[in-house]
Amino acid sequence: MSDPQLAALWGLGGLEDATEDVLRALASRFHVRPVAAGETVCAVGDASRHLWVTLSGEVECVLPGIPGGARTAALGPGKLFGHVGVYTRAPRQFTVRATGDGTLLELDDGAADALLREPGMVGRAFRHMLLHAVLHQLHTVDATLLRLAVAATRARPPSEDPR
């Protein structure tokens, strides 16, 4: 097991209590998937059959159909994506594309569901990793929305009302 895989998982957070052996066991459950520049990892509306952790390179999340092609996030090494669709069984909300050559750690939905329910230290480490990542993503969405809302309020001139 190469260290970058452990580093990518460690970078997700929530694994403070996991030993290196547990991390190695967790990493061994994922497949390594190379991706080429421009390759679509998943497309908006697709069935959600995998989750991924970026190992090297970068992927971008885009919302097709919006003028200008809205890029909502760029995910470098050590970022989790695809899990929301897997655990809600909802179609993909984003199209995700590789911006350059890179590698992903990939887990299919069956393995992801089994690992979620697995007793013992490896299952626990996986759940704690997921919980930390989702809480961080919720925080990011909430904080971004609120900052933009506050900025919009402040940008509004006091003489906005023509009367």
Q: Which residues of this chain interact with other proteins, rule CB under 8 A?
A: 13-14, 16, 63, 66-67, 70, 72, 83-85, 87-88, 90, 93, 116-117, 119-120, 123-124, 127-128, 130-132, 134-139, 141-153, 155
Tokens coding 101: 């050559």
- Closer of 101 and 142 to other proteins (Cβ): 142
- Closer of 1 and 66 to other proteins (Cβ): 66
Q: Does residue 109 contact residue 48 with C-beta atoms inside 8 Å?
A: yes
Q: Is the torsion defined by CA of 13, 15, 20, 26 positive or negative?
A: negative
Strands 102-108 and 50-56, bridge-based pairing: antiparallel
Give the shortest CB-125-to-other proteins separation in angstroms.
Answer: 11
Give the shortest CB-93-to-other proteins separation in angstroms.
Answer: 6
Work out the widest C-alpha separation in the chain, in whole angstroms.
Answer: 70
DSSP 69: -
Give the shortest CB-55-to-other proteins separation in angstroms.
Answer: 22
- Closer of 32 and 49 to other proteins (Cβ): 49
- Closer of 32 and 132 to other proteins (Cβ): 132
Residues with Cβ within 8 Å of 47's Cβ and at least 6 positions away in sequence, in order, are 91, 92
Give the shortest CB-108-to-other proteins separation in angstroms.
Answer: 17
